[in-house]
Amino acid sequence: MEQTPLVASILNATLLVVAILALIQGAHGIGIGVNYGTVANNLPPPAMVAKFLSKSTTIKKVRLFDANPEILRAFGNTGIEVTITVPNDQIPDITNLTYAQQWVKTNVQPFIPATKLIRILVGNEVLSTANKLLVSTLVPAMQTLHVALVAASLDDNIKISTPHSLGILSNSSPPSAAKFRQGYDTHVIKPMLNFLKDANAPFMVNPYPFFGCTSSSTLDYALFRSNSGVFVVDDNTKLRYTNMLDAQLDAVYSALKVLGFEDVEIVIAETGWPSVCDPAQVGVNPKTASEYNGNLIRHVTSGAGTPLMPNRTFDTYIFALFDENLKPGPSCERNFGLFWPNMTPVYNVPIIMRNNVAVVANSHYKVFLSIVIVLSLICTWV
């Protein structure tokens, strides 16, 4: 049947609407998460925290550094996706299948399906510890825990991974030349990537532009101040970088590509900016923390991607939910929190619900406006 111009226009418009609706559906799969650390003696009860996050913020994902049963129960029936962690010291034990199965029975099965568990992390920044026992047992532990999930028919919904610091890279500048550290690359990371790809699980990294900001000259670059005129050009690709996070993520991507695994998803397991630090540290105050995290949220959810990974969004977990007053080290380590213990914001960041309406990322506004425009055009044509 021959199409009239009117029919063709309506069909084209319909296809556009379908595409836009698909984009919206995809956008809902990408959420901003938060790291919920508990190295403190002044934190509110987990039930209050879970209620606050689910009712008063746009946070859709939470990462725990253990498998605290009280916290897991608290997030039941909230719809918030929860990631739990096998502590580093338990990694060698998890290589034993009986131990792994018991770990799943104790730390996973009692809480599902009420608590929406999506991921188990085996340790945190294990390769950076340089502990030979932990490094050598990391991948076997991940594989064994996966077998335990398969035996319990949980592997479709709960994935296994482990987060890495950027110290796993032998070099990161320029981003296109980045590689994993020699020795770790073929003996640990490549087998790990084989496992992640087969299990459809992500490669998780902890990029911190804050720690790469060593002087006032790099502050604009670290804080996403693209209008400052500060940028870096990769001499190999001639691609232009206007923020440090993109350069860090593209360095990870390039290292994955060297090993043939550029198609494995990258998830940002940790990133953040402290609001208080020692006097010598550059650019640390509530204003810069607000600026970094606000720009971070807008950037990773915008769909812009990075120079080497355009048109992508990134699952991102901000560090951290609360300040942790018992953490050792420099004062900044105790001051990454988004909220005070009374759950008021330390500074402004676009994750608060205002009058039960979410403050959403710019990309969602654009999608909504696109639908309005297309529907208006259809009405005009008809």
pLDDT at position 280, please?
83
Residue 362 lies in a domain: no
Residue 256 lies in a domain: yes
pLDDT at position 8, please?
43
Q: Indicate if 147 and 78 belong to the same structural domain.
A: yes
Number of domains, the chain: 2
Using CA atoms, how far apart are residues 238 and 293, in angstroms rounded to an integer? 28
Q: Indicate if 299 and 152 belong to the same structural domain.
A: yes
Q: Indicate if 207 and 226 belong to the same structural domain.
A: yes
Model pTM above 0.95: no
Q: Indicate if 22 and 135 belong to the same structural domain.
A: no
Residue 361 lies in a domain: no
Structure tokens at 124: 């945190």
Contact, 214 vs 174, CB < 8 A?
no
Which CATH number do you get for residue 288? 3.20.20.80
pLDDT at position 214, please?
85
Residue-range definition of the domain harbouring residue 327: 32-351
Choice among 270, 291, 324, 333 that is catalytic: 270
Q: Indicate if 341 and 210 belong to the same structural domain.
A: yes
Active site residue 324: no
Active site residue 333: no
Q: Indicate if 259 and 375 belong to the same structural domain.
A: no
Q: Indicate if 140 and 4 belong to the same structural domain.
A: no
Residue 364 lies in a domain: no
Q: Indicate if 1 and 118 belong to the same structural domain.
A: no
In the chain, which ranges are continuous DSSP H helix?
5-29, 46-56, 69-74, 91-94, 97-107, 126-129, 132-151, 184, 190-199, 209-212, 219-222, 244-258, 286-300, 362-381
CA angle 94–170–123, rounded 5-degree value:
20
Q: Are strands 357-358 and 353-354 parallel, antiparallel or unpaired?
A: antiparallel
Residue 217 lies in a domain: yes
Q: Indicate if 15 and 105 belong to the same structural domain.
A: no
Q: Are strands 81-86 and 116-122 parallel, antiparallel or unpaired?
A: parallel
* AA identity, residue 270: E
Choice among 125, 262, 265, 291 that is catalytic: 125
Q: Indicate if 25 and 51 belong to the same structural domain.
A: no
pLDDT at position 28, please?
38
Residue 160 lies in a domain: yes
Residue 357 lies in a domain: no
Q: Indicate if 152 and 285 belong to the same structural domain.
A: yes
Residue 212 lies in a domain: yes
pLDDT at position 259, please?
98
Q: Indicate if 10 and 159 belong to the same structural domain.
A: no
Shortest CA distance to 78 belongs to which of 37, 36, 43?
36
3-state secondary structure of 334: helix
Q: Which residues contact 179 (CB under 8 A, 6 or more apart)?
A: 169, 170, 171, 185, 254, 255, 258
pLDDT digits (tens), the chain, 382 positions: 444 444 444 434 443 443 343 343 333 346 899 999 999 999 999 999 999 999 999 999 999 999 999 999 999 999 999 999 999 999 999 999 999 999 999 999 999 999 999 999 999 999 999 999 999 999 999 999 999 999 999 999 999 999 999 999 999 999 999 999 999 999 999 999 999 999 999 999 999 999 999 888 899 999 999 877 889 999 999 999 999 999 999 999 999 999 999 999 999 999 999 999 998 888 999 999 999 999 999 999 999 999 999 999 999 999 999 999 999 999 999 999 999 999 999 999 999 987 555 544 444 444 444 544 445 545 455 5
pLDDT at position 215, please?
86
pLDDT at position 9, please?
47
